[in-house]
Every structure is written in C-alpha cells, then in structure tokens.
Structure 1
Amino acid sequence: MTLTVGFDLDMTLIDSRPGIRATYVELSARTGVRIDADLVVSRLGPPLEHELAHWFPEERIAEMAAAYREIYPTHAIHPSPALPGAEDAIQAVRAAGGRSMVVTAKNAPHATLHLTHVGLKPDTVVGSLWAEAKAEALRAQGARVYVGDHLGDIRGARAAGALAVSVTTGPYSEDDLRAAGADVVLPDLTAFPAWWAAYAEGADALA
C-alpha cells in the first residue's frame, strides 16, 4: 500500500513570515489603514479573511482579500525560505515509496509559487482548506499522516482519521500541541526522516 503524507505549508515547510509581513506592510501603505504586521505573522494559520477581519470592516474584506492576493506574488515569495528539514522530509517520503501532498489554507497558485521558489516538489498541492476542511483533501488522497504546526492542523488530521504529527516551528509549544491531541510532536522537520523511517517500517509490517 502506498503511504501518503500530507504537509501544511506556512511555518511547517516554509517560513512565510517575512513575505506575509512585507505584503501586509504594502497593503497598509496602499489603503492608509494601520496594520500591525508583526502581530499578523505571530498568528499565521487561519485563512486570509480571518486576519483581515481584525483590520477592516466586514464589507471591505472581499475587496481587501483581492488586493492582498494581487500584491502577494511580488512581495511574499522571494523573502520566504524553506524551513530546516523540509526538503529532506519530502524526499524521505518519496524514498520509502510514498506520496507527499501539501494541504494549506493558502490558495493553491500562491502555495505553488512558494514551493517552486524553494525547490520543494510534493506530488499534490491543495489550497484554500483550513482546519477540519483539510480532511476533504486528506481523505480523497488516502493520507494516513498529516504534518502541521497549528492546532487547526491537528483538527484536520483528526477529522481525516490521519495521524496528527506536529512541529513546534509555528506559534505553539510542544505542551500546547500535545494538549490539543497531537499524536507525535517533533521540534522541526529535521527530525521527520528518522521518525518516518520507523513509522513506515511499522506500516509495512502491518500491510
């Protein structure tokens, strides 16, 4: 049986904080609305519209989301590096005969731009899904593991019946992630290949 592993994008595979910060600074300059970009990047994870609701009235959110997405490729892609271990994690899945997919709240075109920029090549990219909604894509691809940094990622894994693997590269501590139901907590993706080798061996034995 082919093992499929899902990965979140922001703060799991890439450090998107510099690029998102730059995009919000530009959006603030264009609209004249004060946005605390440092606060924004301290709570990445939920969909764009959730964050914009902190800064704009409801009737302007759709307009501001469109404006943000228009300027995003110019300001956000280049400054955002891969996180340590990201490439090795995806390669470890592939080396074991598995498939990797990215499931993210970010829209798929922007997610693909990020992945291409840092040289990451998952088998599938699915965007615009958050928390429990991520289970739609995970179930469709038969993912048995989902790796993320956010409490919403744990909820998505649980809803899909997948193993919830968390990394502490996002806004939550190991204790926070375990309390939220993470099955496995790793400090970052550099620890993933060793964990994955043991997991895949056990899965093969049960197949």
Structure 2
Amino acid sequence: MSSVPGTDDTAAPPRPSSAVPVVGFDLDMTLVDSSAGIAATMRAVLAEVGVEVSAADVWPYAGMPLELIVAGLAPGRSASEVARLTARYRELYPALGVPTVRSYPAAAAALSAPAGHGGRSVVVSAKHTPNVHRVLAGTGLASSIAAQDVTGDLFAEDKGVRLRELGATAYVGDHPGDVRAARVAGAVAVAVTTGSHDAAALREAGADVVLGGLEDFPAWLEGHATDLRDGKRTVPGPR
C-alpha cells in the first residue's frame, strides 16, 4: 500500500537523469571469461570436504554469489560450513583462479566507449571486491576503469541499489540477476549471451536489449547516448 495518497510505492524507480551514458558492467562472463578459474577453485575447495564436481557442474552457477554456488553444489551443509567453504574459496582464488581469467576481446573497448560520449563506466560484480580488482589488473582492464567505480560482493537487486547510487543509465550483464539489477536501478537492461544463459532466457527475464557479445556494444551505445542527449525515455516501465 502506498504511504502517500494517490501514489504507488511499487512503481519502477525513475530513470537516471544523466544526459550522458553511465554504463555499469558485470564482470564474470560479461567482461571476462573466468569460467575455468572459477571451476578449478570450486573443485579444489569442495574436494577438501570429499565432494567431487566437474567444470560442467559448476558452469550453470556462473555469476551467482559464492554462498549460493557452494550450497547448490554441496547441499545439506550448515550455514557455518557454507561460510567456511566460501572463505576458503576466496583464499585460493588468487592463485588458482585469477591466472586463468581472460578478458573478452571487445571488453577494453566497451569499457572505454562511454567516455567517448562524455560518460563513464562502472563495474558492479558479485565477485569478492579484492578479487574483482585482481581480475581487472590481471586482464589489463584496470586501466579502463577508475578504482572507485568498482564494486563487488553484490548480486541482483543489491547490485541495482549500487547502480542507482552511481547514476547508471544502463547495466550490461549475462545473468537474469543482472536484468533485475537494472530494473532496480531504473537503467536499461543490456544482456550478453557470453554466460550460461541464452538469448531466450535473458529475454524471458526481461532484458531490454540482448547482444551476442561486447563487440556489438559500441553500436548500441551510440543510440543510447543520442537518446539521453535528446531527453528521450530509454528505460521502459515495469513488466
């Protein structure tokens, strides 16, 4: 129920007022292919408690918070055990995961593109914040993003809150949770099919735009930047 007569508290948040693009990017499977490192680290952690999983078992969980991945792959564990295994993963990831991560070929250009329209890029990820910085540095992408514009340890709607604080006009990600994040932020939900979800699943989740990869992003951004300059509403209402 609305707290103010004649209003609806459940309405979608207003779109960002920026006249220039402020574009948020997810990290894993959006800017970088981190699948091998995530699988290797998760397999090592779970093997320590006698749980054997394959890379194929880990793949559907790409982009999700670690606690949910651990609980899904090793069901029946107590909350304290899940927390311990999550901490162990974060301990091992710099050595087992980071060296295998590769940026997608168009990632650096995509991160730099908003600046060409007077805007900027931000990175908001579910990955542990120190590891986000390690991955960006290890893949050479750190030079394309300001350190203060990097946030980790957030998923789905929680990402959206941070994106709204940053004034994001669009959010690019590979997971349905990223679409939900864009909705909370009042930003355009731009999905890429480089993760474990195909175009149909991302459209079903409510993505406004589905791209095959970041190589298609600069062309889309041209139209988005023009709409912002012209004051056009580029963020649809609730679905």
- Give TM-score scaled by structure 1 length: 0.94
Cα pair 1:165 1:183 within 8 Å, conserved: yes
Shift of 1:27: 1.5
Distance across 2 between alignment mates of 1:43 and 1:27: 15
Partner of 2:91: 70
Q: What secondary structure, in the 3-state scheme, does the structure 1 residue paired with 2:102 have?
A: coil
Partner of 1:3: 21
Partner of 1:140: 165
Residue 141 (structure 2) pairs with residue 122 (structure 1): no
More deviation, 126-135/24-33 = 24-33
Distance across 1 between alignment mates of 2:32 and 2:160: 21
Cα pair 1:164 1:182 within 8 Å, conserved: yes
Partner of 1:86: 107
Match 2:217 to one of 168, 192, 201: 192
Q: What secondary structure, in the 3-state scheme, does the structure 1 residue paired with 2:189 have?
A: strand
Q: CA RMSD in A?
A: 1.5
Shift of 1:12: 0.5
Cα pair 1:146 1:162 within 8 Å, conserved: yes
Unaligned runs of at least 5 residues, structure 2: 1-18, 233-239
Give a deviation string over 1:20-63, Cα, whole Å, max 9, x none: 11112322343332233321123212100001112151241111
Partner of 1:19: 37
Amino acid at match of 1:184: V
Distance across 1 between alignment mates of 2:114 and 2:21: 8
Distance across 2 between alignment mates of 1:34 and 1:26: 9
- Give TM-score scaled by structure 2 length: 0.82
User: Which residues of 2 match residues 90-169 of structure 1 at below 5 A?
Assistant: 90-120=111-141, 121-123=144-146, 124-169=149-194
Shift of 1:202: 2.2
More deviation, 77-86/19-28 = 19-28
Distance across 2 between alignment mates of 1:3 and 1:198: 11
Q: What secondary structure, in the 3-state scheme, does the structure 2 residue paired with 1:53 have?
A: helix
Q: How many residues align?
A: 207
More deviation, 184-193/117-126 = 117-126
Q: What secondary structure, in the 3-state scheme, does the structure 1 residue paired with 2:57 have?
A: helix
Match 1:179 to one of 204, 208, 217: 204
Distance across 2 between alignment mates of 1:6 and 1:35: 32
Shift of 1:100: 0.6
Shift of 1:129: 0.7
Identity of aligned residues (%): 44
Cα pair 1:84 1:188 within 8 Å, conserved: no
Distance across 2 between alignment mates of 1:162 and 1:132: 12
Shift of 1:72: 0.5
Distance across 1 between alignment mates of 2:201 and 2:47: 35
Cα pair 2:129 2:152 within 8 Å, conserved: yes
Match 1:32 to one of 27, 45, 50: 50
